[in-house]
Structure 1
Amino acid sequence: MSASHDVVVVGAGPVGMLLGCLLAQQGADVAVLERSLAPSASSRAVGIHPPGFAALAAAGIGDDIEHAALRIHEGVALCRGRRIGTLSFADPVRMLTQDRTEAHLERRLREAAPRALRRGIEVRDLRTTTAGVEVETSEGAVAARLLVGADGTRSFVRERAGIGWERRDPDVRFVMADADDLGEHRGSALLHLEPDGVVESFPLPGDRRRWVVRTDGFRADGPRADGAAGERTWSRAAFAALVEERVGARLDTATLSEPSPFAARQQLAATFAQGRVALAGDAAHEVSPIGGQGMNLGWLDARALADRLRPRQGGDDPWGAYARDRRAAAGRAMRRARFNMTMGAPCGGALLAARNAAIRGLAGPPLRGVLAGAFTMRGL
């Protein structure tokens, strides 16, 4: 391994690789260290919002994403089969599974800096020196003028830097799976705000649709998950039965992917930068993953960092206003996510009627544009 770099990025997820691309384009000597030997094949975030797409375009893969992704121009809110609001997006949300987006990022990073991405490297320690940061890895020590932790919610970099991690809200439980899209709303994102909890679905390339179901409030006599105590394991049949009971949609279990339960959490680092160490993406903030907003927020972190680390910038305060501005943006994203979680919570009676009336008002003039901007991550 090279002994010294301008910047070492820990974590080769979508945020770490984007930052590596942007820094390499600026002529920086960057190393991106990743513990995993191969990219993850799991499909997690899918939504690429306009600001996130602009960041990907700045890294040189805008045309690739545009060609591969499905464009969404409309979001529809429903309750008990009736439409209660519609939002139109002048600048579309692009839908592409995270594994495919990461493949484009990795290809671009290898083009921009063939030796930057180093897989199978475990970071074991880090310490500040007079010249920057020394990183102890499974293959020896690496020195860097600056270190960025993009290593996820359980960030080793954050922990070793002594940066606190604050829980903001209780967990909200969901389960998701993909199936063939056989419905009447092809091309539209659907938000079913049902008494038993929200069901969201998003079209994907290849005539597929992702279904995300809130499960922390489903009725005790409803379809149950398979498995024992702890994290539930959902069968395809149980997931399909829950979607049908909740919204009436019949999913073809033969085309259904393995259901994946997860918890939507809101957590925030006490600071996004300390000394010669900065955090980006999920290492800095965990925001509800519905619609890919957490991934997009991380891309905006990466772009802000790359702008700050352009040649001839830095000095005694290498991060500048990055920590303050991006932490404030994460706080705004969390407030929006909290609103979304509240709107999607189980409710009935007068509260359900009031919620639906509020959504009709928000989806109509003059607030329609404000709500559409929030959903497409404007202002973050």
Structure 2
Amino acid sequence: MFDVVVVGAGPVGLYMAALLLSEGHRVAVLERHTSPARQTRAIGIHPPALAALDSVGVAAPLVSSGVRITRGAAYSGGRKVADMDFARPASEYPFILSVPQYLTIQALESRVAELGPLALHRGVHVEEVADDGGTLRLRGRFRDAPVEFRSRFVVAADGVHSALRGGLGLEPRLRTYPDYYVMGDYRDESRFGDIAVLFLEPGGIVESFPLPGGIRRWVVRLGTSCPEPTPAKLAALIRNRTAHAVDSSSNTMISAFGVTSRLVSRMVHGRIALIGDAAHEISPIGGQGMNLGWLDAAALAPLVSTALRTSANRPVPAELAQFERSRQRAAKKAIWQASVNMALGRPLHPKVLNARNAMIGRAITLPVFSELVAKRFTMH
């Protein structure tokens, strides 16, 4: 019998578990994969999320292993269009942290192991959740054998294709976009250092971000899907669109993806709550999804923790309703911001692009506009 069962041992589920374990609650984390993923995937951690991670003692080790991005620049046709400053003096973390997702998971998993050595259960595939009126029973399989966990509250953090969400019948609203991307990590031989760079080109945007260990990520917007991306193909796209050469033999990750967004109508279903990608899928362009999930957890954990210390054994319905409204507003805002980011990266006729770039270059010199851009990029 557990106080809380968290389904999913990704960054969001592990953070939720760490929050609750640090309050002394008995927590189980159920993960269907038998070992952590080694993919780079999400890399950007924004200042509000770093402050949230600091509450469980994870921010410091991540900052020490990542790259601090305090500035950005936009180029077009080889000419600088604008500079962007992400270092907000009032912020506890005046930068965006770039760190591979597997290192983030390692740091969170280590913290969970310190707080609850037996909390993480890998290889458990949850098939259903039943509520007997007093206890939630999670039934599934572990190494082909049936297994059951009992809990007072359940948090679903099992990703975009959440099995728990599907079992509840909470199918999200799905939206598809006419945007496709291919991205890859290469040895950084550019002159950009720790600066994030956007190339606003007629054929579509190219984004470039520093990673630890002398690596740089490149993301190229395409007009059609790319089912079989290769390091050489992406290197050619980068060179043709930006005139920057990357060594295809140094590639350590290659991926192609289309873009969809999802948002469930309800994040709370009785004593089951959905957070992170299980509740809302956000376009990767802008790097908000993982951060949004952490902020979901930071808002939910105190409600659950307080309830577990009372005889009610469940959070106050009105407080859960407020949590749901607040986090859905945040998700809608993030979806809108991502759609704006994608629209700005679509192909444009050179004359239209030049006119827009000139307007951006003038506007960014205005303190009010510059502050707004910084807020949008850093999720303040």
Shared fold per TM-score greater than 0.5: yes
* Offset at residue 361 of structure 1 (A): 4.2
Q: In the alignment, what sits opposite 2:175?
A: 168
Residue 145 in structure 1 maps to residue 147 in structure 2: no
Residue of structure 1 aligned with 2:121, choices 108, 118, 121: 118
Q: In the alignment, what sits opposite 2:51?
A: 54
Checking the alignment, whether the CA contact within 8 Å between 2:286 and 2:341 is kept in structure 1 is no
Cα gap change, 1:50/1:75 in structure 2, threshold over 3 Å: closer, same or farther?
Answer: same
Residue of structure 1 aligned with 2:375, choices 355, 373, 376: 373
Partner Cα distance (1:165, 1:210) in 2: 31
Partner Cα distance (2:290, 2:356) in 1: 28
* Offset at residue 291 of structure 1 (A): 4.4
Q: In the alignment, what sits opposite 2:70?
A: 73
Q: Secondary structure at the match of 2:137?
A: strand
Q: Secondary structure at the match of 2:183?
A: strand
* Offset at residue 355 of structure 1 (A): 2.5
Checking the alignment, whether the CA contact within 8 Å between 1:269 and 1:285 is kept in structure 2 is yes
Aligned length: 363
Q: Partner letter of residue 24 of structure 2?
A: G
* Offset at residue 316 of structure 1 (A): 4.7
Cα gap change, 1:344/1:140 in structure 2, threshold over 3 Å: closer, same or farther?
Answer: same
Cα gap change, 1:216/1:41 in structure 2, threshold over 3 Å: closer, same or farther?
Answer: same
The worse-fitting range, judged by mean Cα deviation, of 21-30 and 254-263 is: 254-263
Partner Cα distance (2:154, 2:178) in 1: 31
Q: In the alignment, what sits opposite 1:158?
A: 165
TM-score, length of structure 2 as denominator length: 0.92
Residue 135 in structure 1 maps to residue 138 in structure 2: yes
Deviations 1:278-317 (A, max 9, x none): 1111111111113431111111111111122223474452
Deviations 1:314-369 (A, max 9, x none): 44527342111101100001111111011001111443134313422442212100
Q: In the alignment, what sits opposite 2:90?
A: none
Partner Cα distance (1:125, 1:310) in 2: 24
* Offset at residue 169 of structure 1 (A): 4.2
Partner Cα distance (2:115, 2:194) in 1: 34
Checking the alignment, whether the CA contact within 8 Å between 1:172 and 1:264 is kept in structure 2 is yes
* Offset at residue 6 of structure 1 (A): 1.2
Aligned ranges 1:205-354 → 2 under 5 Å? 205-216=212-223, 232-311=227-306, 312=309, 314-317=314-317, 319-354=320-355
Q: In the alignment, what sits opposite 2:210?
A: 203
Q: In the alignment, what sits opposite 1:42?
A: 39
Q: Secondary structure at the match of 1:33?
A: strand
The worse-fitting range, judged by mean Cα deviation, of 111-120 and 304-313 is: 304-313
Identity percentage of aligned residues: 39
Checking the alignment, whether the CA contact within 8 Å between 2:153 and 2:272 is kept in structure 1 is yes
Partner Cα distance (2:362, 2:260) in 1: 28
Partner Cα distance (1:306, 1:357) in 2: 46
Checking the alignment, whether the CA contact within 8 Å between 1:199 and 1:213 is kept in structure 2 is yes
Checking the alignment, whether the CA contact within 8 Å between 2:29 and 2:119 is kept in structure 1 is yes
Q: In the alignment, what sits opposite 1:189?
A: 196
Q: Partner letter of residue 219 of structure 2?
A: V
Q: Partner letter of residue 195 of structure 1?
A: P
Q: In the alignment, what sits opposite 1:222?
A: none
Q: In the alignment, what sits opposite 1:109?
A: 112
Checking the alignment, whether the CA contact within 8 Å between 2:209 and 2:216 is kept in structure 1 is yes
Checking the alignment, whether the CA contact within 8 Å between 1:46 and 1:291 is kept in structure 2 is no
RMSD of the alignment, in Å? 1.6
